[in-house]
Chains A and B, each alone.
Chain A
Amino acid sequence: MTHQLMEKEELAAQLALQGLKIGEDDLDGMLNMARDLADSARSMHIKREYALESLNGFSLVKKESPGNE
């Protein structure tokens, strides 16, 4: 996801590359969502220094099981 705030035309072009044809009526609302996601993605980038060492997928139980890598 681009970490820049995109404009409508850029959003439409990027979604078209993914095979999605977006009508003009949808673009305004979609742009707000896309900008929110870009902000969220940027915040993950900022937080990378805090990231834990492993990623075993999400399970409240299995991640604690010995030998479950």
Chain B
Amino acid sequence: MSELCFLTIAEASQQIAAHKLSPVDLTNAFLDRIVSLNPQLNAYLLVLSDSARTDAKKAESEIAAGRYRGPLHGIPIALKDIYCTKGVPTTAHSALLKDHVPAADAFTRTLLAEAGAILLGKTATWEFAIGGTSFDLPWPPARNPWNTAHDPGGSSSGSGAAVASGLAMAAMGSDTGGSIRGPSALCGLAGLKPTYGLVSRRGILPLSFSLDHAGPMCWTAQDCALMMGVLARHDPLDAGSADVAIPDFASITQPVRGLRIGYARSMTEEAGVDGEVLEAMEAGLKVLEVLGAVVCDVELAPSLAYADVASLISRSESYAIHEHDLAHTPHLFGKIFRQRIAPGALVRASDYINAMRERTRLIAQLADVMKNVDLVVTPSWPSPASILGEGGIMSRRKASFMRPFNVTGSPALSVCNGFSSRGLPLAMQIVGRPFEDHIVLRAGHAFEIATEFRKRRPIIEAKTSAAA
């Protein structure tokens, strides 16, 4: 039944709506596969078998009775374990919250449940969405399904591993400096960091109030659009939520002919970017040109300018969140988390405010660039996935193509644009103007349709017990 686990949401939802696919059968296929493969991948911290089966039966009954709710009805999904789930542990992959059971659901969890999605479980994450690939936490780190010796990226590591390996049809991630797009890139997925304010963060354990974004991680851009059709909603109880017209996500099947796409080539020349990544970008640009897009080079601010702003804001806001626990129970955090967050104690108020002022300049500068182009593209990640735990942690001078768009709040999608000579995914980032997430997804969808990369899945076999 594993072939069911490699359907896209678009494919499965059509079959479910036509009464050709049972949500119960679909959910059971995923639960069986999780039992078989999760011990190798560590994608899930918690599997909700009983409630998932109950919810699947309910979905099946409703659909049989003619009460089909829409394209997520009966679709098995997962949540990064920083999304609060009422009555279900939400740990942030940390000993600090090992026994934490929220009293309420995250707003996005409510929206997904109302749409009829089936929650399979809670996925692994870097500790509190920042700790890095750590081996000193209560649960092991997730592994990359394309090669389990390699890192799946983070911080939405388990969500990336789960979707790529067919352990969930979609999963929710969060992105403060690339935590949706990074694992999506390294696991070969489509992952969208929506425009800041388009998806509520209420009930998601925060990392950095003004840089945090919530969004979907799926096999295709089209599936991301289907998820966004449910997730994009104004939430007056999230102070960052925008009360704007919801983008038309059904429009993503329109052609990209005539779209003006700027390649931020100068960013790729600043720091060490893998040759295979650059080759995949050039090939990807040619595909977009063949599709009728007009491609040119654009120049953005140096990535270091964005990195400085992002670091000062992120560390200040993160320290504000974790100050009490770092002072009183530091031993309950992993080493990497402590090392990354504690120095935030030393950032002065004036440093933070100046970083916010510089941020407004960078936002204005990007807006000027995007008067002349509809989209900007970059690689998503400067290299294929590193060996698990050997990627190092983010530093000021380490190239990041993703952090800039947390600073600006722009919608940014990672799509698979090839594979390395060792069979690891490569990825392209597509960035749009604020609240033009649908145009970003339109370009990603067209690119996926025009290329073969969505036809290749990681091959991972269940391990049998070791011979005596």
Residue of A nearest to B308 (CB): A40
Q: Does A7 contact B (CB under 8 A)?
A: no
The answer to whether B339 touches A58 (Cβ under 8 A) is no
User: Known contacts A20-B327, A36-B311, A44-B308; is A15 also within 8 Å of B346 by CB?
Assistant: yes
B 179-213 binary contact with A (CB < 8 Å = 1; else 0)? 00000000000000001110000000000001000
User: CB within 8 A of B338: which of A26, A37, A39, A57?
Assistant: A26
> Are B348 and A1 in contact, CB atoms less than 8 angstroms apart?
yes
Enumerate chain B residues within 8 angstroms of A26, measured Cβ to Cβ.
335, 338-339, 342
Q: A45 to B360, alpha carbons, bound, how many Å?
A: 15
Contacts of A40 in B (CB 8 A): 307-309, 311-312, 351, 355, 396
Contact A39 B361 (CB under 8 A): no
B240 touches which one: A14, A47, A59 (CB < 8 A)? Answer: A59
Q: Once the chains bind, are A60 and B409 in contact (CB under 8 Å)?
A: yes
Judging by beta carbons under 8 Å apart, are A43 and B308 in contact?
yes
Residues of B within 8 A of A14 (CB): 345-346
Instruction: Determine whether B340 belongs to the interface, using a CB cutoff of 8 Å to chain A.
Output: yes
Q: A32-B395, A60-B197, A61-B244 are in contact. Are A37 and B355 (CB under 8 A)?
A: no
Would B354 and A52 count as touching, CB distance under 8 A?
A: no
A30 an interface residue at 8 Å Cβ cutoff?
yes
Residue from B210, B336, B347, B358 within 8 A of A37 (CB atoms): B347
Q: Does B242 have its Cβ within 8 Å of any Cβ on chain A?
A: yes
User: In the complex, A21 Cα to B364 Cα: how many Å?
Assistant: 41
**Contact at B312–A44, with CB atoms within 8 Å?**
yes
How far does the alpha carbon of A62 sit from the alpha carbon of B363 in the complex, in Å? 14
> Of the candidates B242, B304, B309, B336, which one forms a contact with A60 in the assembled complex, judged by CB atoms under 8 Å apart?
B242
Which residues of chain B are near A22, meaning CB under 8 Å? 338, 342
* Chain A: CB-nearest residue to B239: A59
Q: How many A-B residue pairs have CB under 8 A?
A: 124
* 0 or 1 for each of A6-36: is its CB under 8 Å from B? (1 = yes): 0000010011001111100110011011101
- Asked, given contacts A18-B346, A30-B339, A60-B197, whether A51 binds B312 with beta carbons under 8 Å apart, the answer is no
Q: How far is the CA of A57 from the CA of B317 in the complex (A)?
A: 13
Please give the distance in Å from B412's CB to the nearest CB on chain A: 14
Give chain A residues whose Cβ lies under 8 Å from the Cβ of B336.
29
Q: Give chain A nearest CB distance to B301 CB in angstroms.
A: 11
Q: Is B150 in the interface zone, CB < 8 Å from A? A: no
* Bound Cα distance A50, B309 (Å): 14
CB atoms of A33 and B354 under 8 A apart: no
A55 to B356, Cβ gap below 8 A?
yes
A58 touches B210 (CB 8 A): yes
At the interface, yes or no: B359 with Cβ under 8 Å from chain A? yes
Minimum CB–CB distance from B213 to chain A (whole Å) comes to 12
Tell me the minimal C-beta distance from A12 to chain B in angstroms: 11
On whether the beta carbons of B343 and A51 are closer than 8 Å, the reply is no
When distances are taken between beta carbons in the complex, the residues of chain B under 8 Å from A11 are 343
A51:B351 contact, CB within 8 angstroms: no
A47-B358, A52-B360, A52-B361 known; A15 vs B197 contact (CB < 8 Å): no
A1-B351, A44-B354 are contacts. A37–B343 as well, Cβ < 8 Å? yes
Q: Which residues of A contact B357 (CB under 8 A)?
A: 51-52, 55
In the bound complex, how far is the Cα of B344 from the Cα of A40, in angstroms?
A: 12
A32–B336 alpha-carbon span in the complex (Å)? 12
Q: A15-B346, A30-B343, A59-B197 are in contact. List 16 more A-B contacts (CB 8 A).
A: A1-B348, A26-B342, A29-B339, A37-B311, A37-B344, A37-B347, A40-B309, A40-B351, A43-B308, A44-B355, A44-B358, A47-B361, A48-B354, A59-B240, A60-B196, A60-B363
